[in-house]
Amino acid sequence: MAVILVGSIKGGVGKSTTALALASEIRSAGQTVYVIDTDPQLSLYRWFEDWKLKDGIVVEDGHKMTQKQLETAVYDASQEYPFVILDVKGAINEQVMYATLQANMLIIPQRASAADLERSIEFLDRLEFIERARQRPLPHRILFTQRTTAITSRAEREIMEQTRQAAPVFSSELFLGDAYRAMFLYRMTLEELDAHNLARTERARQNVQSLLREIVAIITSEVKA
């Protein structure tokens, strides 16, 4: 099973959006997913509270969990669900550090900005410490988010190049898309938004499906290694 941690030092980079979009497409692929929201802002837990279908995705409010409770929750969920996703606060606190111990994939969302790149590098510096504590590597990738698909500017290209030199990067991106915002607004999955004609979801779903394929390939190759 996959335990995916979506983390960053910064807020607003697209962690919760990535977590929900992944959960949405995992469900659409016919699998189940357990999400633990440890960010006190609880954007995913609030989404879940208002989500009418309540089938295939469970979101637990983990913001007050102790380390022991979080560990138990992740362990139990990983026994029952093929996918567990941890959405955390934009910081490296004890809870985030602890969550990294159980994850087998770390996604670091990042916009194509110099400030975001600096925070990603800061996070990557901590990985060394995290991997020592885990006593094994933590497969990780930076995920570019919120870029427009039109033209990649020179500055964007430069930032993306520097990012690739600093860390492995997903070839999939979550481009800027209204469908991602609409998931939170209407409390629906991408598939439901499409069915209700509330947003054009084709591009967004393709982005997420492609990301999901990359994640599964990485985790599968780690398990074999």
Ligand X SMILES: Nc1ncnc2c1ncn2[C@@H]1O[C@H](COP(=O)(O)OP(=O)(O)O)[C@@H](O)[C@H]1O
- C-alpha to C-alpha distance for 38 and 1, rounded to whole angstroms: 20
Going from the C-alpha of 182 to that of each of 64, 114, 157, 190, the distances in angstroms are 28, 27, 28, 8
Q: Is 7 a residue that touches ligand X (CB under 6 A)?
A: no
Q: Is 140 a residue that touches Mg ion (CB under 5 A)?
A: no
Q: Is 177 a residue that touches ligand X (CB under 6 A)?
A: yes
Choose, by CB under 6 A, the member of 15, 119, 141, 205 that binds ligand X.
15
- C-alpha to C-alpha distance for 141 and 116, rounded to whole angstroms: 14
Q: Is 198 a residue that touches ligand X (CB under 6 A)?
A: no
Out of Mg ion, ligand X, none, which partner does residue 205 contact, by CB within 5 to 8 A per kind?
A: none
Listed ranges 11-19, 21-29, 170-178, 210-218: which one lies at the site for Mg ion (CB under 5 A): 11-19
Choose, by CB under 6 A, the member of 136, 181, 196, 203 that binds ligand X.
181
Out of ligand X, Mg ion, none, which partner does residue 174 contact, by CB within 5 to 8 A per kind?
A: ligand X
Listed ranges 58-66, 155-163, 177-185, 212-220: which one lies at the site for ligand X (CB under 6 A): 177-185
Q: Is 62 a residue that touches ligand X (CB under 6 A)?
A: no
Going from the C-alpha of 93 to that of each of 39, 100, 131, 146, the distances in angstroms are 11, 11, 16, 25
Q: 98 is written with which tokens?
A: 């602890």
Q: 23 is written with which tokens?
A: 């959960």
In the complex, minimum distance from the CB of residue 177 to Mg ion, in angstroms, rounded to a whole number: 17
- C-alpha to C-alpha distance for 39 and 61, rounded to whole angstroms: 9
Binding mask 71-100 for ligand X (x = CB under 6 A): -------------------x----------
Instruction: Report the sign of the C-alpha dihedral through residues 144, 83, 9, 40, in that order.
Output: positive
- C-alpha to C-alpha distance for 210 and 174, rounded to whole angstroms: 10
Residue type, 170: F
- Where along the sequence are the contacts to ligand X (CB under 6 A)? 11-17, 43, 90, 145-146, 174, 176-177, 180-181, 184
Residues binding Mg ion (CB under 5 A)? 15-16
